[in-house]
Structure 1
Amino acid sequence: MTSYPNRQSSTYSNLGKAEHAIDGNSDPEWKHYSCSSTAYETKPWWRLELPGVYRVSEIQVTNRNAKRKRLNSVEIFIGNSLVNNGNDNPRCAIINDDPGCLTQTVKCWGMAGRFINLYRSFDVADALTFCEVKVYGEPAAPSMSIQKMGRNITIVGTRLCWSDALLYCRDSHWDLLSLIGPEDQEMIDELVARATFPLTSQLWVGLRRSPSGSSWFWMSGDPMDFTRWDEGSHHSSLCGGTSSQMPYFPPPPDTGRGHIRPPTHSPPPERERKSATAIGAPRLCKTRKLKGCNARYHRVSSR
């Protein structure tokens, strides 16, 4: 892990270099060159820069076997901003020394970020010191967002079945998107046009059919006022989505009808076409009922 950039607000001496906290050696003895330490100062901090944006599940911090009180009230922040040296990012936890255990483990429950900061906000001068920091997690899914009219819509680039997509968006964002009106569809099409990562042919949205009937509903509870179904919809499906491949030009003023332009990606494999045939467009807006809910697609979330 020593190849990962890391810094601290100051360095006490060569014994306390910042990289000693990520060298894989959790020896708690200060004189063994295995611990980091800032100088005596107010509001000291230490920061690790990960190789990309990660969803962090847990962090372990190993204290020194002496001066253990210096780990008390240390805040852990995770995020992508370097404002205030990264100490204004969202907080995962506050840790304290445990007399019975040198290593503290905190859960961060998938918080996303590239920078991990340990920070003590006290105005009393002291050193920030510890002997090992271990970060566990996985690369965060690529995503793109757009915000208009008070709504934030995000395309998340991980392939999941519909139910997993719903749980992911509720856990990490707010919900799978409900298309309340043509403005929402226009926002989706703008996101698709700007996407910097490959998209699946269909994008899950929060559309669901009642298993006992033919009624459809948005999982968010929003009214089903926007229901211009595509003619190729599969009415046996329980899930709905929108297309990332066939956007529409705005309708000409003399006809009021949209013109389909060619797909911007290669046609999906036959088995994929069978399991999902959703299509959506600005102004000429159509939503399809998908044939199967287990196909793994990207999804559109709202906040």
Structure 2
Amino acid sequence: METTNKEFRNYDKLAIDAAVRKHYQKMRQNQTYDYVKRMQEKYLKFDKPMDLWEAMEKLNHLIDVSDPDLDLPNIQHLIQSAEAIRADDRPDWMQLVGLIHDLGKVMYLWGSDEDGTSQAEQWGLVGDIFVVGCALPNSCVYPEFNALNSDMSDERYNTSQGIYQTRCGLDNLTLAWGHDEYLYQVLSHHKANKIPKEGMVMIRYHSFYPWHTGGSYQNLMNEQDKQYKIWVDDFNKYDLYTKCEQTYDLNEIKDYYQPIAEKYLGKGPIYW
């Protein structure tokens, strides 16, 4: 994959700073441990059948307000990622992961402003995620907002270990609520899912920047997580550095990706 000199994830650009800062302020303030548990109970019902391609089409109507690099409908970012992975002749399952990795954002269809899971209020839907149940690290984007989180004045949650055991591992942490965890859980409960573990890790942790880029939470990591980071870093080259203004028609690329999707996800609907 070729990269350009374009600067990505620059959160100091004046044109986007106010909107993105406001998003992260709300996210840091509202994403508490109790909030995440409520969202898990509310949204992990797996009772809304929807075809994969219909879900893809729905992202034509969503622009990620937390992204400082791209203001196109989210479906374009997905196709850009998948096509770059395809161009590098990476495995077909990884191409599929590129195509669907943000598909959990369809939560906005049944989300609400109050939960931060709607088009208007996306602080429970998109953005860099972090661990809830322990102290927020300075590696979070806009760390000045960490103090707004009420958990940081709760002695159960405001230490570096918080409610967790040392070296418990990523899979035993509760992360901020958003599209990553939502899609991961949906696919984990989808009986036809055959995406390999590498792909599921890429889906679940690609927005976990304080960990994979910031180097935080080392006290909670286990040996398995070292491999997780290799997989996520590999994927994130395509998630981040493929963002551009080129657009695609979903119908034109569907013929190529549909057999791959059926190979790993089956032909029936996915239950969201």
Query: Greater share of strand residues, 1 or 2?
Result: 1
Structure 1 or 2: more helix by fraction? 2
Give the alignment's TM-score, normalised by structure 2. 0.22
Select the structure with the greater relative contact order (CA < 8 A; seq sep ≥ 6). Answer: 2
Task: Provide the TM-score with structure 1 as the length reference.
Answer: 0.20
